[in-house]
Structure 1
Amino acid sequence: MKKFDIRKLKLRKVTIDQIDDRLLLINLYVTQALTLIIGLIWILFQHRNPLGLLRFPEGIEFLYWGIGLAAIVIIVDLLISRWVPEDATDDGGVNERIFRNRPIWHIIALSFIVAVCEEILFRGALQFAIGPYWTSIIFAAIHVRYLRHWIPTGLVFSISYGLGWIYIQTGTLWAPIIAHFVIDLVMGLIIRFRRES
């Protein structure tokens, strides 16, 4: 039996075009699973109940906050894509690869999974520990594909801060989850149908 030698392990940079669709989806689902696990563990270390964070609120006011923020973000994003050159907002083609050939049900599922996993970590655990400002800086840094250009980096930071703000205003994690879900869903559908036409 051959021995594994870590010194022979080689890392190389891979572009989005070199990754096939299956590997891209596996990467996405694994990262979201890790995000969820880290968020849940962090919440437990804070001596809080993760299920309590996901308790559904009695009123529907949180929906107004979530859908309202999502509408603002989508309008701003559409205006930016209309007036700003595409190379200044390029994410390296990742979003296009994720959404362009996906069936609608899969875009809905992906958007919901990403919204729940990321909001549990960032708003549920991290914001509780360090506040919305520093959480938004980390959120922007985690979305590394946007860091090459200041416009998408600023937009991701602003969206994150907005998600943190509506979480504080409503007191429920469902407000940022709804906003995050609607933003990802609408932008995913725009990519899907824009490429189809």
Structure 2
Amino acid sequence: MKKFDMSKFKLRKVTIDELDDRMLLINLYATQAITLIIGFVWILFQHRNPFLLFALPQNSTFLLWGIGLGILVIAVDLLISRFVPEEVGDDGGINDRIFKNRPWWHIILLSFIVSVCEETLFRGGIQHSFGPYWTSIIFAVIHVRYLKHWIPTGLVFSISYGLGWIYEHTGTLWAPIIAHFLVDMIMGFVIRYRRET
């Protein structure tokens, strides 16, 4: 039996340009699965039932909060992108690579998966332990591709704080999931269908 030689095992940083589309999607789905698992484990360590977070509330006001925050974030993001140079909001081309050539149904699917997985961890688990302010700092740091510039970092922090606020206000995880989903989906469609100038 051949032994595995750890001295030959090396980790190296890979740029987005080195990943083909298949590997990019594998990485995206894998990180979201890990995020969801960590979220469920975190919630279980808090002696809470993670499945109860997904119970639908009896009234539908959470829909208004989720849709309202989603529309507000999209409007602010589009306004900022109109007046701020493109390189300030540069994420290293990751969003373009994820959404540019994706069919519309896959953009919807990706947006839903990301919103459920990230909101389960951040609003469902971390916010319960640390509150919306520190959760938003962690959320901004996790979105490392935006940390090069203060405008997108501030925007990610603000969005996260808004998601945390509507979660506390409505008492349901579905409000931030809806807002997160709308933002990701519509911005994905903007990237996918925008005309090159």
Q: 2: distance between equivalents of 1:83 and 1:196?
A: 18
Q: 2: distance between equivalents of 1:2 and 1:112?
A: 44
User: Percent of counterpart pairs with the same letter?
Assistant: 74
Matching of residues 133-148 of structure 1 within 5 Å: 133-148=133-148
| Match of residue 78 from structure 1 | 78
Q: 1: distance between equivalents of 2:100 and 2:130?
A: 36
Structure 1 residue ranges without an equivalent (≥5) = none
Q: 2: distance between equivalents of 1:86 and 1:28?
A: 24
Q: 2: distance between equivalents of 1:173 and 1:90?
A: 30
Please state how far the C-alpha of 1:21 moved relative to its aligned partner.
Answer: 0.2
Amino acid at match of 1:115: S
| Match of residue 122 from structure 1 | 122
Please state how far the C-alpha of 1:43 moved relative to its aligned partner.
Answer: 0.6
Please state how far the C-alpha of 1:196 moved relative to its aligned partner.
Answer: 7.5
What SS does the aligned partner of 2:41 have? helix
Amino acid at match of 1:151: I
What do the CA deviations read for 1:73-122 (whole angstroms, capped 9, x no partner)? 00110011100001111000000000000111100000000000000000
The question of 1:23 aligning with 2:23 is answered yes
Please state how far the C-alpha of 1:12 moved relative to its aligned partner.
Answer: 2.1
| Match of residue 164 from structure 1 | 164
| Match of residue 174 from structure 1 | 174
| Match of residue 12 from structure 1 | 12
Q: Is the 8 Å Cα contact of residues 100 and 195 (structure 1) preserved in structure 2?
A: no
TM-score by length of 2: 0.97
What SS does the aligned partner of 2:148 have? coil
What SS does the aligned partner of 2:57 have? coil
Moved more, 8-17 or 124-133: 8-17
| Match of residue 95 from structure 2 | 95
Matching of residues 104-123 of structure 1 within 5 Å: 104-123=104-123
Computed over aligned residues only, the root mean square deviation of the Cα atoms, in angstroms, reads 1.2
Q: How many residue pairs were aligned?
A: 197
| Match of residue 38 from structure 2 | 38
| Match of residue 149 from structure 1 | 149
Q: 2: distance between equivalents of 1:124 and 1:146?
A: 23
Matching of residues 39-78 of structure 1 within 5 Å: 39-78=39-78
What SS does the aligned partner of 1:111 have? helix
**Structure 1 residue ranges, 4+ long, deviating more than 4 angstroms after superposition:** none
Distance change in 2, residues 1:8/1:195 (3 Å):
farther
